[in-house]
Amino acid sequence: MTLSLHFPITLTYAALLGLLFVILTFNVMRWQVRAINDPRQVEAGKPERISRVQGNFTESVPLGLILMALLELNGVMPAFLHGLGILLVIARVMHAVGMTRKPLISLGRILGIQATLMMILIASVAALTLAF
Amino acid sequence: MTTVPLVVGIAWIIQAILIYWAYGLPQDFTRDGTHRSFALGDRPEAIRGVARVIRRFAIGATILILGGIVLVVLAIAGVRP
């Protein structure tokens, strides 16, 4: 017996976020090379901040995608899943842009992390209601 | 019984409570955005800027909690899906 599972909606957003992850990783390399080549031209703490953008991405996105896949597996309506996926993609783009541009706190960084947490919270509450 | 407004509303209320827990309640801040526990006047402007942003967290959480309550009420009233 073969078990065939398809997650077309989660797959779409996983692909988009995968592309974003690759861009963020290359950005880390770019700033590290810049810091080595000409440290005077690089703002203090910038390479570390760029590295944290990618780090924060890897800490939150996998959980969001796992929750999305589990909701899709349990037959949650597509519009709800698309809403979660769009929210997660926009949140990660905003966080990356906000944290890259400004040190300390920026609007993009705040909205990005809060939107990511909102997506995970909504998906978690939905998963709990399906579980019980 | 379980609907999208109910799920989203509960999630928003939880998030708002966590924001209050992490950053403080709106009344914990003075008008210029500084937390009441800060000593006024001797803070660098960069820190004051951060404090003003943190104050917005508390305001945002209030909007979130009100939106969450509206959604939960709508769900209980029978709004679908």
Selected for mutation to probe chain B from A68, A99, A122 (highest B CB count within 10 Å) is A122
Residues of A in contact with B12 (CB under 8 A): 118
pLDDT digits (tens, 9 = 90+) for A107-117: 888 899 999 99
Q: Which residue has the tokens 């924001």?
A: B19
Chain B residue with Cα closest to A131: B2
* Cα gap B5→B75, rounded to integer Å: 6
CATH level 2 (architecture), domain A8-131? Up-down Bundle (1.20)
Nearest to B11 among A107, A122, A130 (CB): A122
Q: Which of A42, A46, A57 is nearest to A96 (CA)?
A: A57
pLDDT digits (tens, 9 = 90+) for A64-115: 999 999 999 999 999 999 999 999 999 999 999 998 888 777 888 889 999 9
pLDDT digits (tens, 9 = 90+) for A49-61: 899 999 999 999 9
The residues of chain B scoring below 50 in pLDDT are none
What is residue B32's predicted lDDT score, i.e. its pLDDT? Answer: 65
Interface residue A121 vs chain B (CB under 8 A): yes
**Could you give the 3-state DSSP secondary structure of residue B74?**
helix
Q: What is the 3-state secondary structure (H, E, C) of B34-51?
A: CECCCCCCCCCHHHHHHH
pTM, rounded to two decimals: 0.85
* Cα gap B24→B60, rounded to integer Å: 12
Query: Residue A21's CB: how many other CB atoms inside 10 A?
Result: 15
The parent domain of residue B48 ranges over 4-77
Chain A residue with Cα closest to B53: A105
Domain count, chain B: 1
